[in-house]
Amino acid sequence: MKRIVALVPGGIGDQILFFPTLDDLKAHFPEAQLDVVVEPRAVAAYQLSGSVHQVIPFNFKDRNALADWANLIGTLREGEYDAILSLGRSKAVRFLLWLTGIPKRVGFAKLNPLGFLTDAIPVNLEQYSAATYHDLLKAFGITTPCPLPKAVITAADRQWATAEQQRLGLSGGYRLLHGGSSQMALSKGINKIYPPTRWVEVIQTLAQEEPHLPFIVVCGPEDQGWVRALTQALPNIKISYPPDLRKLAALMQQAQQILCTDSGPMHLGVAVGTPLVALFGPTDPAKLLPADPRFRAVKSTTGNMADIPVSAVIEAACHG
């Protein structure tokens, strides 16, 4: 195998969950060039991957004309790839893979009557999502257990994180809070935001019980409204505005603990290995967090994240 490409729709979290698959592919085919086709909103995730050579943007969720799909197929044909993988499970995706003419075509399917795939892998959705994606590697004879996602942090980004702590007046450990949610989730009617008033209670209580761990609140491009509500109640809270995903990852890596909701930053926290507490509403933690004692889930009993008691968050944070 000299050239392999993967079609990976979804946001930044989905890309991070796919990192173990890419890393094990690279480990087994160290001379191979690995490329990925991802949505523009998720391209930044590959700043943190040490396995990918080229990122090809394509908006899978857009209303693409036939010409757009033809251009993608043309790009993939010109790449002269030996193998292609896809996370998609529809017949249309399998047909797309067949149209590329790539010799080895790997995807999820129970049956493959038309032969669009050369390797059809049954999908197991009752496990950590990274492990589900990793099952595609069975087509390459790779049957090792799925490792945890791992982000590559550069020395320059670690230096930025250290300087940012100094700018905020911190000289010891800290907790990092990322409580926002993506516009994509909100547009789908999925509310993954824990009310700012509840976070204020969490911050105030933990500050009393563990004053040696102050909070840094991270504000991204889509978090201004949530952070504004937080600072109205806590005007002295320390706010950081990482300019890119690499620096956010470095700031997370140096934290003692991360508090977050079920979101892309949660997956990033796992990938840097920092202990975290993640809040879940309607989604299943067993499919989105690995079975690792460093990563704790607080699941709403009603499916509504706002219904999670503050006491449950504090207990998880103090015993995490």
CATH number for 167: 3.40.50.2000
Which pLDDT does position 249 carry in this prediction?
A: 98
Domain match, 70 and 204 both: no
Domain match, 202 and 71 both: no
Q: CB–CB of 266/254 below 8 Å? A: no
Domain match, 135 and 198 both: no
Q: Tell me, yes or no, whether 178 lies in a domain.
A: yes
Which pLDDT does position 187 carry in this prediction?
A: 56
Point out the domain boundary residue: 97, 112, 140: 140
Q: Tell me, yes or no, whether 146 lies in a domain.
A: no
Q: Which H or E element spans position 38?
A: strand 33-38
Instruction: Please name the residue ranges forming H helices in 234-284.
Output: 245-253, 264-272
Domain match, 190 and 247 both: yes
Q: Tell me, yes or no, whether 145 lies in a domain.
A: no
Range of the domain at 281: 155-318
Question: What domain count does the chain have?
Answer: 2
Q: Tell me, yes or no, whether 149 lies in a domain.
A: no
Which pLDDT does position 184 carry in this prediction?
A: 53
Task: Collect the ranges in the chain with pLDDT lower than 50.
Answer: 182
Domain match, 214 and 112 both: no
> One-letter amino acid identity for 69?
W
Domain match, 115 and 169 both: no
Q: Tell me, yes or no, whether 148 lies in a domain.
A: no
Buried/exposed code over 263-293 (b: 16+ C-beta within 10 A; e: otherwise): bbbbbbbbbbbbbbbbbbbebebeebbbeee
Cα–Cα nearest to 293, from 143, 150, 148, 172: 148
Point out the domain boundary residue: 76, 109, 140: 140
Q: Tell me, yes or no, whether 147 lies in a domain.
A: no
Q: In whole angstroms, what is the distance from residue 301 CA to residue 296 CA? A: 16
Point out the domain boundary residue: 78, 108, 140: 140
